[in-house]
Chain A
Amino acid sequence: MPDIKITPLGAGQDVGRSCILLSMGGKNIMLDCGMHMGYNDERRFPDFSYICPDGPLSPYIDAVIISHFHLDHCGALPYMSEMVGYTGPIYMTHPTKAIAPILLEDMRKVSVEKKGEQNFFTSQMIKDCMKKVVAVTLHQSVMVDNEIEIKAYYAGHVLGAAMFWVRVGSQSIVYTGDYNMTPDRHLGAAWIDKCRPDLLISESTYATTIRDSKRCRERDFLKKIHECVDIGGKVLIPVFALGRAQELCILLETYWDRMNLKAPVYFALGLTEKANNYYKMFITWTNQKIRKTFVQRNMFDFKHIKPFDRQYIDNPGPMVVFATPGMLHAGLSLQIFKKWAPSENNMIIMPGFCVQGTVGHKILNGAKRVEFENRQVVEVKMSVEYMSFSAHADAKGIMQLIQYCEPRNVMLVHGEAEKMEFLKEKIQQEFNLKCYNPANGETAVIQTPVKIPIDVALPLLKAEAKKFSALPPDPKRRRTLHGVLVMKEGGVCMMEVEEACKEAGIERHIVRFTSTVQINDAGPCLSTAHKLHAYVAEKLPQWSVHFSEGEISVESVLVKVEGDDDDQKSVYVSWTNQDEDLGSFVLNALNAVGK
């Protein structure tokens, strides 16, 4: 049996640094190439030495596929392609191709210019890396080479996020990247057809959560902000530049409008306008409602939300600030946090997942003091709220996706080990599917059935269909196709035996056997024949046993009765060698009667 091998280099029983090696049909494909936000050392990037201890990866990898622009899915891409070395194609959607380089450059600046990291990729490397990118459109079938075919499906999550179906020969997988199964204020829900892959590799960030309704969460979020600004507090919402930020802005904008609130709302991203421009240009990737109304009103032109200036940090009075990055691990959001954390009037709302090692992760786990590299200590007195707005599928969503695409096996990645175990069991129970969750560096081997396409001569199919439809309908009856494969230089074709012999230029040699059994049964031959017919038919329930002009036949086996009306009858059983098993079975059955 052929198999599919999967080795996570990142995201195996882990969140962050998604990078999964897929090997099937002799082809190797890298699914995502992310970085870990929680580390500043070599653990930040996937361990590419697993693929090849030294030197470029190009000889070992046929294609790289990037699911979306989040850095935990594409952050290591310039490092991989320009520093480790990869010259092959990189596939991603058009919005991802547009937005990923901006986020990479942003991250590079923070790492190199602020943190002073060495041996990081350069701006030029990001540009060179993006030159290797082939942009794909949803549902378009793309042939990477003669054997690898890929197709992108809508994943929701963030602008341009896609799930990828990958096929090599008769084997196929679906890799989800991050996705969400419920539409939000600016994106639609993930969608896939019944593509029945051999393996579905799904993220499982929220494997054990079944989240309450979106509306409730939104109401909660707005209530908390409203209460905080009412008492003059400042609200910090760390976000990533693109994605959740746009959804929360739409939410706040409409609420401020409706409640006629005056407290200022700031969006502290240098990218704001650029980001919203991308949303405008890729409006076809947003949800139905936004697409329908975009000509009259651009959802991303905000009336209440103003650009932020660093000087505002110390302004008195209430305000709400959206600041990057989302996990509070660097940059402006961290700077504001340091200033505002010591006041209990203030509030921080973490609208997404934070990986281990980040400040966001620490305060979400209740840390009341946060220590920084330069021995600076910040007391956390502000209230810390977590609101899961990350657009990831929850347990229900993951189960739904399995139902949609009907995979033969499931693999969970991008989640925490214990939570995965829980969901894994659930999947095995509910769908009776094998479910895998390999750790980083561990290889899962998935056996797949093969289906080999071969050509078949139409007369063969037609003869079978004619025979089948001539019989009375019986849902239990099996249809049998029998023929001869002719294998020539020009190809392989299945056909009727006579045709095959003609093709090969040979003459068949028919071998026929006729055996005689003596049976004692008085009366006319025809009555004996009738009795034998009933007897043979009973012995061969799966076969159609015919009776015509005193002769019994099943396939090429013929049974004939001869003799006078006295006791003794000669029963001739005759068959060709092709029906040897059937013929000798009938003969033995008749011998048993004769004795």
Chain B
Amino acid sequence: MKLYCLSNDPNKPCHILTFREITMMLDCGLSMQSVLNFLPLPFVPSQKLQNLPTWMPIDVTDPELDGELKENGERVFVDSPPEFCPPLDKLIDFAQVDVILISNYLCMMALPFITEGTGFQGRVYATEPTLQIGRLLLEELVIYIEQCPKASFASQWKNFLHKLPYPLSDSFKPKSWKQIFNMQSVNSSLSRIQMVGYNEKIDVYGALQVVPASSGYCLGSANWVITSDHEKIVYLSGSSTLTTHPRPMDHNSIKNADVLIMTDLTQTPISNPDSMLGVLCVVVGMTLRGGGNVLIPCYPTGVVYDLFECLSVKMQELGVSNCPMFFVSPVADMSLAYSNILAEWLSSAKQNKVYVPDELFPHAMLVKNSKLKHFKHIYSDGFSTDFQEPCVVFCGHPCLRYGDIVHFIELWGNNPRNCIVFTEPDFDYIDALAPYQPLQMKVAHCAIDTSLNFTQANKLIRDLKPATLVVPECYTQPPVSAPHLTEYTIEAGGDRTLIPYKWGEVINLPLKRKQGQVFIETAVAQKIVPVEIKSGVSLSTITGTLQVKDNVYNIQDSNDKLKKYVKYEWGTLNVNEFIQKLSHEGINDAKVETHGSVVVVHLQDEDALIQLEDNSTHVVCSGDEKVRTKLRNAVMQCLKKF
């Protein structure tokens, strides 16, 4: 069994697992850190961004590089449509991938890169919410980028990487970066997904079974349990033990694995989501009361549902409930509607509401009461009439490089009463804001990451008791920002093997199959005659016709007459007993000779001799079957068999 690591971002994982001749891709996350190196995409040309000075390395005069790079406050940005770093395609040909398993909607954004135009022929499995919400995220991303087309594409800068300032100089494999796919690729890619339910057993070519188990992280998020007859591999990605809106994590299904692959742990190991939510509420309350607006960069789904719920209550308490909340995303309406029909994927508290029937999330009520207003874009019908300040705006994209948020920063950036609050943990907020600096608006950082932190992960590992634990190498070392905090690592412990891996590596996992499984039919089973060899140990021969179909082995009754009831003899043969048995058969002329450990019995009349050793007997005679049958009977009576 081998594991290939194709993504350098443990929170946007992409692996290949090969086992029993099946090539399986575990997640296909798309790292978006690359986009931070690009200038934002405004709908209408921005004076500020257009007037940024061009940057050139000191000793370079290449005219082709001229204009590709712009400078803003010590930082250099690429003036081009943003590019993305897709999973590594050098280690494996995607056409060979049999199955893709997707854990959650945040770990599938590279799917079109994998399945389209690569010769990919396999199957893709994901839960219904993962598919539906994943589609919303992909649509949103494509719309955001396509609505702001750029005239030129910059590419020369990639040839001068060593001459560029940090962090551009540290770009990870920029030559492999790609432009975003189009909607057609998205649709075609998503049409390959087969929807599955939690605990649904999916057969993979008869060789393996895969089962998604609830992971508690977001709507429809799953950990994958991969089993053969005797082996159990668990792929754990994006999990949470906190109580929010999704169905809680299913611990039982993922216990006692031979191999546990664990990735996608928290991106904010030091802060706690609950206290961050508290800070957020305070910041929102203070800003609104001060007459300022709150801008919350977000994805159109996920924690944002909890924020609507929590903030609406808090705003009531703080007496600012007359300030509206705006949710602006091309998929806002879809996201709100979908969340209210996915009852079977929610926590039981939320699930029980369908029996009333009541709306699952309070945001349905907030929309009805006009406390929460949603729009596809800021230029959508009705937005300008409904828009009212001060207010709270939820808007994407969290990287601040595209989406309507670009406009809101331009609109509110110069007023110190306004505040931008970062809640999504995917992007560093200083990097995200860099092209907009200097800004007057306040900046608050309350990243809410509900996925497992290191304490929770270590506790979980102790409970799950995997024989081998496989984690990204970075989880075995303290965070770069806090090297003294050794508790923020995955512990090696007990008798479990800990195997770290990193980008571009192929590692062997210690799983040697020793046993398989066969199915025996009644007729075959009936012929099993257990012989007790010693207390608690019985043996029986078993023979049948083998049928192999789809990797499933069946033993059927064989109608072969010449090889049916094979038995085996064991133990040693007692010479005296043998002579006695011979005389029972009417043979009385036995002459016994001993040569060391070999005893030879001569039978003159029968023209035969029997050579006896500790573990073998050789009967030599003429072609007369009557004689031989008698001798055979005598030998068999003296031996034990099974």
The reply on A479 being an interface residue by CB < 8 A is yes
Q: Is B555 an interface residue (CB 8 A)?
A: yes
Q: Which residues of B contact A295 (CB under 8 A)?
A: 333-334, 337-338
Closest residue on chain A to residue B230 by CB atoms:
A455
B372 to nearest A CB, angstroms?
Answer: 16
Report whether B354 and A453 are in contact in the complex, using a CB–CB cutoff of 8 Å. no
Q: Let me know if B547 is at the binding interface, CB within 8 A.
A: yes
The reply to whether the CB of B19 lies closer than 8 angstroms to some CB of chain A is: no
Whether A140 pairs with B542 at a CB distance below 8 angstroms is: no
CB distance from A585 to the nearest CB of B (A): 6
Give the segment of A258-266, A413-421, A514-522, A525-533 that binds chain B.
A514-522
> Is B537's CB under 8 angstroms from A486's CB?
yes
Q: Which of A94, A485, A517, A518 is B540 in contact with, Cβ under 8 Å?
A: A485
Q: Closest chain B residue to A149 by CB distance?
A: B201
A139: interface (CB < 8 Å): yes
Pairwise interchain contact B616-A514, C-beta atoms closer than 8 A: no
Are A137 and B566 neighbours in the complex by a CB distance under 8 Å?
no
In the docked arrangement, what's the CA distance between A170 and B522, Å? Answer: 11
**B569 adjacent to A509 (CB under 8 Å):** yes
Sorting the interface of chain B by its residue count into under 10, 10 to 19, 20 to 34 or 35 or more gives 35 or more
B616 & A510 in contact (Cβ 8 Å cutoff): yes
By DSSP majority rule, is chain A's interface helix, strand, loop, or mixed? mixed
Report if A450-B563 is in contact (Cβ < 8 Å); known contacts: A139-B196, A507-B615, A509-B639: no
Given contacts A461-B516, A482-B541, A591-B625, contact A509 B616 (CB under 8 A): yes
Q: Are A515 and B623 in contact (CB under 8 A)?
A: yes
A450–B554 CA distance with the chains assembled, in angstroms: 11
- Do B548 and A516 touch (CB < 8 A)? no
Could you say which of B198, B211, B563, B568 contacts A484, with CB atoms under 8 Å apart?
Answer: B568
Beyond A484-B642, A501-B570, whether A281 also contacts B230 by CB under 8 A is: no
Contact check, B197 vs A139: say whether CB atoms are below 8 A apart.
Answer: yes
Q: Is B477 among interface residues, defined by CB-CB distance under 8 A?
A: no
Provide the bound-state CA to CA distance between A573 and B196, in Å: 62
Contact of B198 among A137, A278, A479 (CB under 8 A): A137
Q: In the complex, what distance in Å separates the CA atom of A480 from the CA atom of B518? A: 13
- Indicate whether A367 reaches chain B with its CB closer than 8 angstroms: no
**Would you give the 0/1 interface string for B533-550, flagging 1 where the beta carbon is closer than 8 Å to chain A?**
110111111111111100
| Interface of chain B residues 606 through 626 with chain A (CB within 8 A) | 614-625
> Which residues on A sit within 8 Å (CB–CB) of B196?
139
**Which parts of A274-320 form the interface with B (CB within 8 Å)?**
274, 277-278, 280-284, 294-295
A584 partner residues in chain B, CB cutoff 8 A: 625, 628
Closest residue to B338 on the A side, CB-wise? A295
Residues of A contacting B173 with CB < 8 Å? none
**Cβ B617 vs Cβ A511 within 8 A:** yes
B562 touches A509 (CB 8 A): no
B560 at the interface (CB under 8 A from A): yes
With contact pairs A140-B199, A480-B558 given, residues A458 and B515 touching in the complex (Cβ less than 8 Å): yes
Contact yes or no, A453 B518, CB < 8 A: yes
Contacts of B519 in A (CB 8 A): 170, 451-454
For A587, the chain B residues whose CB sits under 8 A away are: 623, 625
Instruction: Please tell me if the beta carbons of A458 and B536 are within 8 angstroms of each other in the complex.
Output: no
Cβ < 8 Å to A, chain B residues 333-362: 333-334, 337-338, 340-344, 351, 354-355, 357, 360
**Chain A contacts to B: CB under 8 angstroms:** 1, 94, 97-98, 101, 135, 137-142, 151, 170, 274, 277-278, 280-284, 294-295, 449-458, 461, 464, 478-489, 493-494, 497, 500-501, 503-518, 540, 542-543, 555, 573, 577-582, 584-585, 587-588, 590-591, 594
Residues of B within 8 A of A (CB): 128, 196-201, 211, 229-230, 333-334, 337-338, 340-344, 351, 354-355, 357, 360, 513-522, 525, 528, 530, 533-534, 536-548, 553-555, 558, 560-564, 566-573, 614-625, 628, 632, 635-636, 639, 642
* Listed A/B pairs (13) with beta-carbon separation below 8 Å: A142-B199, A151-B200, A449-B521, A450-B521, A456-B553, A464-B546, A482-B543, A486-B537, A501-B570, A506-B533, A509-B569, A509-B615, A543-B562
